Amino acid sequence: MSAPAAPGPAPSTPRGPRAPQAPSDGFAPLLGRLERELDLPYPERSHLLEEIAADLHAAYAAARASGADDAAARARAIHELGLDAGAAAELSAVHTPALHRALRRLPAPAQGGFEVLAAALPLVVCFLYLCKEVPLMQFLRDGGFGSILVLIIGGFGLGLLTQRAVVWFILRDHSPRGLGKNTAAPLLLAAATLCAAVLGTATNFYVVLRAWSEDHLPDAHMRIGLRESLSTLILGAALATLIVLGHTALTAALRRLRPATA
């Protein structure tokens, strides 16, 4: 006796369940609710949902084979699933990294503080390394106030990216709070960095050229002044490029984990 066709979800991809395709997809609301409520990182959450979908399908088929009608078979399959809050919590304990579990026991401000610290630390180390290996401080001094402003805005953008990397790929926090960080803010900061760099450079050019045109600056010094002014633009372009590339890489990696909704 062949099992009747079940109203289960559409076949899933290795990365996660596809969106329901058939109007008779009777388990889609349940699976959608579970996806929202389960506190598991991706891709484990997608794999579990696919596993549940297959088992719901099997339970439905068994119920239909025993003579139940469509609605009764569907209800029985859902009843037999029995994935209660306790089981969901145990699943979360199995799959959530130990560091994330430990952090969740802390108050929200302490969690946020850890994330900021974890994000800032690699940037500070990188900055100190560059200061040691290349004449970075001299380069910054050449650009003047504009370079400092560019460094602050760009550093904030890079900090946002490292915070996301920590939250998404080290802590693997794919809760609504964690995934809620997936905004376009780094791109806006990249644009702001570039704007600040252009404005800073233009201002420095203006100051140098004005001094030169009023004969307060010899030609040789004017050339040096123009060259030094360019450091702000170089710094801004470099930081903005890094932010855009980093943002693109992070969102692509997140999309690979969670293709349907990331």
Q: How far is the CB of 169 from another protein (least distance, A)?
A: 19
Least Å from the CB of residue 6 to another protein: 6
89 versus 130: smaller Cβ distance to another protein: 89
Residue 227: both structure tokens together: 């060259």
Q: Which residue has the tokens 């559409």?
A: 10
- Toward another protein, which CB reaches closer, 49 or 244? 49
**Pick 30 or 167: Cβ nearer another protein:** 30
What is the DSSP code (8-state) at residue 218? -
Looking at the Cβ atoms of 83 and 238, the one nearer to another protein is 83
Which residues are at the interface with another protein (CB under 8 A)? 3, 5-6, 8, 11-12, 14, 47-48, 50-55, 57-59, 61-62, 65, 80-84, 86-87, 90-91, 93-95
Nearer to another protein, 91 or 185 (CB): 91
Distance, in Å, from the CA atom of 112 to the CA atom of 90, rounded to the nearest integer, reads: 25
Instruction: Classify residue 252 as exposed, middle or buried by CB count within 10 Å of its CB (0-12, 13-18, 19+).
Output: exposed
CA 182-188-189 angle, 5° bins: 100
Question: Cα 181 vs. chain centroid, distance in angstroms?
Answer: 6
Name the nearest CA neighbour of 45 among 16, 2, 71: 16
